[in-house]
Amino acid sequence: MDDALCPLDGRYQKHTEILRPFFSEEALMRARLQVEIEWFLALAALPEIRELPRVKRKDEQKLRQVLERFRSAQVQEVKVLERRTNHDVKAVEYYLKQKIEHIAGLRKQKEFVHFALTSEDVNNLAYGILVHEALKTVIRPQCKSVIADVTRMAKRWAKIEMLSLTHGQPATPTTVGKEFMVFADRLQRQFDQLKVFRMQGKFGGAVGNYAAHRAAYPAVQWEKVGKQFIRSLGLTPLAHTTQINPHDDIAELSHLMTRVNTILMDLSRDMWMYISRGVFTQKIVAGEVGSSTMPHKVNPIDFENAEGNLGLSSALFMHFAEKLPISRLQRDLSDSTVQRNIGIAFGYHTLAIASLKKGMGKIALNRGLIAKELMDHPEVRAEAIQIVLRKHGVEGAYEKLKKLTRGEKLTHEQINAFIETLPIPEKEKKGLKN
């Protein structure tokens, strides 16, 4: 869509449409409807609520079909109701009541729709359901895929030695494979936490104490019922709350996603540097243009795009973590408008993953450059030499190598000649030369 306000729904739509089933307005309406239907059925299963008999199987099927048949046309029905009520959750309640009017066995019990609930009871559970589904379907598989890609590269180039740079200066040699494994291990640690993360659920009425519930049915153990209901939706019950879920769950997830983004940004920048240095080359794609004026350019734009979108994603996640857990007294509404943007944070993350994977798929190792760099910097052998000298108790080992190498341009022959003068066993000399 060329007229979209947000690039996630315009230029980059093909990369982010996978998130629509979880973070669109239609998805949120459907999840709210799911919560309302499941609560109605849960109430009907309580023997203490005689005014709402257990729902017959055929009527339960009809009720569940209301959710199954919820599509774009039904969304518009809800939107019509919302324009009248100016309340999105109340509109879903009225929509469900209208549908129950057509179920003969439930028509007289329609006032048990949204029974003793506040809108936040519905909203926080709906968001929890959607976030869980998004993590399961999109976010965790994407993270797992990146780890697999990086691990494959680590194994492919496990024994390829290359010059390392610390502070931007030549340092002790490393291997290409090990450097990739650094990122694989870091991502795996966050992925392990992402696998066990669970959203929480609040379900206690207007101020979290089941007051209205008890007024109607004092014999029901409402705390127990609420916890069972929350668990039935796959969420972790909160014992004590105000009107709202305190959103510590979203804050925890946001911090976790920010750490994932930070690691991926570090990887993107390192890949950019390796390409700039010539360690990696990029495969040429026929028809592509690198620069509008410099025909020779093959720019590392995929890693640059990943870096930019990871930054946008993290900026939103950090705002969620800082803002959402703060609510004035028993509740204010400032969390509502912020929560609607959760999908955007995941959208920029998903877009960054697509760019990063594309970039990783285009690189090739420049073995000639790597070998030349090592040969051009014999001074990096100094660390190993001085450590072996320390091993044999040679006094001033570090200082000897500092005097020889610091700021000097040496050859391997000069290094080897220096090794010959050292008071260490011949076997050690041979090893250092090799």
Q: Which residues are catalytic?
A: 167, 291
CA–CA distance, 42 with 63 (Å, rounded to integer): 13
120: amino acid identity, one letter? E
CA–CA distance, 248 with 361 (Å, rounded to integer): 37
- How many of the other CB atoms lie within 10 Å of CB of 427? 8
Q: For residue 257, which of 335, 336, 191 has the smallest C-alpha distance?
A: 191
- CA 12 → CA 140, 170, 258, 346, 412, distances in Å? 21, 40, 21, 13, 52
**What is the four-CA torsion angle of 84, 89, 90, 93, rounded to 10 degrees?**
120
Structure tokens belonging to residue 117: 């609930």
Q: How would DSSP label each residue in 359-419?
A: HHTTEEE-HHHHHHHHHH-GGGGHHHHHHHHHHTT-TTHHHHHHHHHTT----HHHHHHHH
CA–CA distance, 256 with 190 (Å, rounded to integer): 7
CA–CA distance, 350 with 8 (Å, rounded to integer): 10
Q: What is the DSSP letter of 410?
A: -
Q: Map tokens 């200082």 to a residue.
A: 399
Q: What is the DSSP letter of 29?
A: H
User: Which segments of 86-175 does DSSP mark as H helices, in order?
Assistant: 88-100, 119-134, 140-156
CA–CA distance, 400 with 396 (Å, rounded to integer): 6
Residues in the chain: 434
Q: Which residues make beta-bridge pairs with 365? A: 280
Angle at the Cα of 12 from the Cα atoms of 11 and 16, rounded to 5 degrees: 150
CA–CA distance, 266 with 90 (Å, rounded to integer): 45
Helix (H) or strand (E) holding 31: helix 25-44
Q: How would DSSP label each residue in 176-242?
A: HHHHHHHHHHHHHHHHHHHHH---EE--SSTTSS-HHHHHH-TTS-HHHHHHHHHHHTT-EEPSS-S
- CA 230 → CA 119, 200, 239, 394, distances in Å? 15, 8, 11, 69
